Amino acid sequence: MRLVTGSEMKRLDAWAINEYGLPAMLLMENAGGAVANKIRNILGYLCGRQVVVLAGKGNNGGDALVVARRLQQMGAEVRLFLLHPPDLFSGAALENWRLAERMGIKYNLLGDENSLYLLKLRLTQCDLVVDGIYGTGFRGSPDRTATRVIQAVNESAAPVVAIDIPSGLEADTGRVGGACIKADYTVTFAWAKRGLVVFPGKQYVGELEVADISIPQEALSRLEKEEHYTDAALVRESLPPRDAEGHKNSFGHVLVIAGSAGMTGAAYLACKAGLRAGAGMVTACLPGSLARCFDASLPEVITKGLAETEEGTIDSAAWPQIEPLLRNKRSVVFGPGLTAGQGIKGILEKLLPHAGLPLVIDADGLNVLAGNPEIMRSASGPVVLTPHPGEMARLMGIPVSKVQSDRVETAREAARRFNAVVVLKGAATVTADPQGRAFINSTGGPALATAGTGDVLAGTIGGLLAQGLEPVRAAFVGVYAHGLAGDLAAQEKGSRGVIATDVVEKLPLAFKVIESGN
């Protein structure tokens, strides 16, 4: 699903009206009509149904006036409440106000205690509420009247349909700076807005529907950046076909450099995920003293013991052992459970210029990179970085709070700075590439908030890279499948007790669900 920000949508609206020649009244009529049709589908029939319509002074309020007209024509009893005097309407919204007046739609102006009391009374009696207070241009916090109205709506039992975006939610970032409508349904126009699919905004949206209001698709070519909500359809079309005559070498060989004393589980999860994601073979490189037990625990994986330090980590002297293993590999996963140190730094300094393969850097590899970002300039192949917010903060030299305040733009900036595909993990994981493309994930939940799931993700991406997916596709497909595997595990076990091995075992089923379209 294609995404735009509120700022971009304003530009696209202006282009459609001023350059393409679509009348603003037509766009508003189409928008309000789409919401009215949604309400009819929700309620089943409208004759005699009481609907409260809340309208602000901007274009969102104008859309609400169209909804009020359409619903009254369909037989509903419309209770219209304005948050501003009608003489503040302008443009197409003003024209729709005049039409509403001609139709005899009565209204109440909100602001004093009596009007708020009347609204609360109507909310106890109505069948549905339409939120048209603020639109995609909203920033900051609602004013005092709007805050009280939003609180009254949220305290009522009536279902709520938000026009374009729940009032109080910022379309660009998903931030909520004060009161915000908790919608049961949101009908957004032309393209989904970023703030509807990232947190915390996603929690206020309810069921999301994107309505066509006649803005042509060619409008998107006016935007400098490309942004998507990763859904099953996008992932399915990105997966390579599985060759019926294929063999293990057909599906690629992953080299996983991972593990240290007490952290072999990270290597285990990354290796198993590579296989579960469809790679034909996986070779694990880990400290020599750990190789034998690892070999027994995961017999499907080729194991190579490397030179190690006294602390049980891989030594930089292991590079001559690693270099020949790069031959005939299609991807490398570096970092899970390695424990950051000089030995690991030395290996990464050699690996980046000499591998010439798609390389996933995770966990302790990222910690090494954070202290030595200049080594990324030597990369001889594409790189995928998979930081969680704390690791991203270290990579970028900024507080975690700044990372989380605008996750999409942070991921984009990191991708540009490091010339790599960046996967910023967390709720609604963001994948970005150096060209400015961004993909916000739609799967996953609290079931993934457990140790080891990041290692599963790194291995999953490595397995997809080995099968020939370009790095950005391997990343967003891996993120989606990993999140879906977590969702499937949660359906079976509940989100509270899922562990990383549950997630890796559900990966094949996740890919089956994606490919089947069910």
Q: Give the pLDDT score at 348.
A: 97
Q: Is residue 208 situated within a structural domain?
A: yes
Q: Residue 341 has which token pair?
A: 């140190």
Same domain, 141 and 262: no
Same domain, 298 and 419: yes
CATH classification at residue 354: 3.40.1190.20
- Together in a domain, 32 and 65: yes
- The total of structural domains in the chain comes to 2
Say if CB 360 and CB 465 are below 8 A apart: yes
Count CB neighbours of 437 within 10 A: 17
Q: Is residue 341 part of a domain?
A: yes
From 204, 224, 244, the end of a domain falls on 224
Q: Which token pair is 365?
A: 């590899």
Residue 501 falls within a domain, yes or no?
A: yes
Same domain assignment for residues 202 and 325: no
Judge contact between 286 and 305, C-beta under 8 A: yes
Same domain, 389 and 257: yes
- CA nearest to 220, candidates 389, 474, 15: 15
Write out the DSSP string of 378-404. Answer: G-SS-EEE---HHHHHHHHTS-HHHHH
Given this model, what pLDDT does residue 296 score?
A: 85
Between CA 141 and CA 147 the distance in angstroms is 8
Q: Look up the CATH number of the domain holding residue 121.
A: 3.40.50.10260
Q: Is residue 91 included in any domain, yes or no?
A: yes
- In this structure, are residues 238 and 470 in contact, taking their beta carbons and an 8 Å threshold? no
Helix, strand or coil, per DSSP, at residue 74: coil
Does residue 124 form part of some domain? yes
DSSP bridge partners of 79: 52
One domain, residues 220 and 254: no
Q: Which of 199, 224, 249 is the last residue of a domain?
A: 224
pLDDT of res. 337: 96
pLDDT the model gives residue 340? 77
Token pair, residue 167, equals: 């009032």
- Residue 502: inside a domain: yes
Instruction: Indicate if 215 and 238 belong to the same structural domain.
Output: no
Instruction: Mark whether 293 and 436 lie in a shared domain.
Output: yes
C-alpha span between 269 and 504 (Å, rounded): 7
pLDDT at position 304, please?
A: 97
Answer yes or no: do 252 and 326 share one domain. Answer: yes
Residue 1 and residue 229 in contact, taking contact as beta carbons nearer than 8 Å:
yes
Amino acid identity at 205: V
Question: Is there a single domain that holds both residue 283 and residue 159?
Answer: no
Cβ atoms 338, 314 nearer than 8 A: yes
Tell me phi and psi for residue 226, to 5 degrees. Answer: -115, 130
Q: 349-372 burial, b if ≥16 CB within 10 A, otherwise e?
A: bbbbeebebbbbbbbbbbbbbbee
Instruction: Map tokens 């350059």 to a residue.
Output: 19
Q: What is the DSSP letter of 501?
A: H
Cβ partners under 8 Å of residue 241, min gap 6: none
d(CA 306, CA 320): 10
Averages of pLDDT over runs of 10 residues in the chain (518 residues) are 96 96 98 98 96 97 98 97 97 98 96 96 98 97 98 98 98 96 98 97 98 97 96 94 89 97 96 98 96 89 95 95 97 94 92 97 96 96 98 97 95 98 97 97 97 98 98 98 98 95 98 92
Q: How far apart are CA 418 and CA 88, in angstroms?
A: 49
* Residue 299 and residue 207 share a domain: no
Domain containing 85 equals 3-224
- Three-state DSSP class for 228? strand
Same domain, 153 and 285: no
Q: Taking each helix axis from N to C terminus, what angle separates 453-466 and 264-276, rounded to the nearest 10 degrees?
A: 40
Residue 92 belongs to a domain: yes
pTM of the full predicted structure?
A: 0.95
For residue 403, the model assigns a pLDDT of 97
Domain end, chosen from 200, 224, 248, is at: 224
Residue 134: closest CA among 169, 160, 158:
169
262 assigned to some structural domain: yes
Judged by DSSP in three states, 367 sits in helix
